[in-house]
Chains A and B, each alone.
Chain A
Amino acid sequence: MSRRQYDDNRISAPEMTITVTSMIIGVGILTLPRVLAGTTESSDGWISIALAGCFGMLLAFILGKYGVLLGNETFYDFIGKLITKPIAAGLMIVVMFYYAMYASYEVRAIANISKTYLFERTPSEAIGLTFLLIVCYAVSGSRIGIIRLNTLFLPFVVVLTMVVLFLSNTIIVWQELKPVFVTKPGPLLTGAQESGFTMLGFESILFYSTMMKRPKDAPKAAVFGVAIPVVLYMGIYLACVGIFSQAGLQEIGYPAIELAKEVKIPGEFFERMESVFFTIWIMTIFNSCTMAFDMAMHAGYSVFKKGKRIHWVILLAPIIYYIGMMPKNVIAFAKYGSFISYIGYGLIILLAILYPFAKRKVKRSWASGSTGGNA
């Protein structure tokens, strides 16, 4: 007789991988092929994606390592011991605003893209508001529920991307992918930086690794979580170059969605695949947005330790909505996106640098703890 038990509030390594992947895949990839076409030559953008992916995996690995150190503490309590409470509190408030902005970016992106592909007359404020309300409904539930939503939605998105890539197989002009390796290192690195922005989200491992059954698996799960988007991104990018050519790609607003437009569905059951593609894609954008909102709440709550979830939802939702609607046009919005990404990478790199110190400190406390026990 075997006895299997699972704790209700714990997540397994595959679920953590799915979480990281869902957090990463969002709005970024929809525009990435255009951005890459602007910086790199021919189809060399995939090198940039790969470089960014490797860098992301490295950072994800380091941040995943925190999972073991944290134990049952929240991230704030842990980092507070390392760099004193006030600095940690300041850091967490930055984290809170970072994630609030992240969520607001997603809300605004949904509004913008829906306006382009689904609606003609509905105002984008209304679109964004309904989306945010649904997100509020999700975050006022349980954290474990948010993780489970990822598990429910990600398969749709991955399968859909696979189907689109498979169907686009027939219309790709392979000639467009050549020549290869013609871009200089400089532009490649610029492209890698741009790709890196779309990889943001793997730092969610910091906040969710404490919920894992075995936090030891966190680094591995995070690395896999980054690897899946990297592969998908490369596929989408190459297909875009193959179909639109590098020159044409620069003119297309959301190449990944346009890719779906070009695809012909066998049987011609319905037309304009891009609407369906984006509709399904909303699920993963929703996941990213929900988790960002949740982490903003979590960061805020860990500092102030006051209020229920619903209070934080009510507090943050108007802020998110307001800053999301602030950028006046697409250019301002793109700038806003880069701004968030810089903050994100700043935080991530800071934490990655802190890791060796954190580890030494924890080791020392473990060592002193054990000797204390013996004496």
Chain B
Amino acid sequence: MITQERYRTTVKELLANGSIKMAIGYKPGSTPDRRRPLFIRTSEEAEQLVLDSTCVQNLSGYLVSEGLLSDEKRVGIFLRPEGVRSINILAAEYQLNADQIVIFGFDSTGREVRPLDGRSAREFSGLLNELKEKPLQIYKEPLLERIEKMNAKERFDFWQEEFSRCIKCYACRQACPMCYCRRCIVDSNQPQWVNTSSHTLGNFEWNIVRAFHLSGRCVQCGNCDRACPVNIPLRLINQRMANEVLDGFDHFAGLSATQEPVLASFKKDDTETFIL
């Protein structure tokens, strides 16, 4: 509660002195444990701000809404550490200027919410480097461990079963801060590489293409996972890809705003564990 009050005051101050033109945060949602995004332009709107452990959505995707940042004015945003990583990736991919983003960082343990030091993405580099050193401990998932123990056939069957529920609504894409393309590859029908029908092949194609497009870019914020109306554990695929690029290329997505995309760059000291 103290954190929420402090941040309300800070946002009001920054809006009043013109440091930011808007702050993106959370407000109450349809149920007590749901939150929806809040776009604060006035101090009255700041009163609606909620900040507690249920604020889990990564809001960074809203920053790349067309035209929002084109006036070069600064925008504030409430972010967990994963969200800060998203800002770095978006900056590295030239979708925004990191200096234009004022970060209100927070994290939670249990129901406790605490603020994070720093206002610009650069100031979080210490924290992010710590995350890189112990990513698995932080993002450990019991289901992921179960899947890793499966053999290829079992794993294939598992995902076939999961993907069979996919209805190709593309909610995962809409929720993902990394899916900023004006035209997604699935919307390209000349030729139609990815089948749009929700049958096994089409569902596999879509979800695997998406996993590849997120390799080295996903920060495991869980937006896709939560957005999925049929509860496919999409986060696990991306988690696995993140582990692969970390092992193979020592690449932890979103460490800095100058990080080169893992699939478009080459380092002489890549571990290249995949080359036999």
Q: Do A and B come from one complex?
A: no
Binding site for B on A (CB under 8 A): none
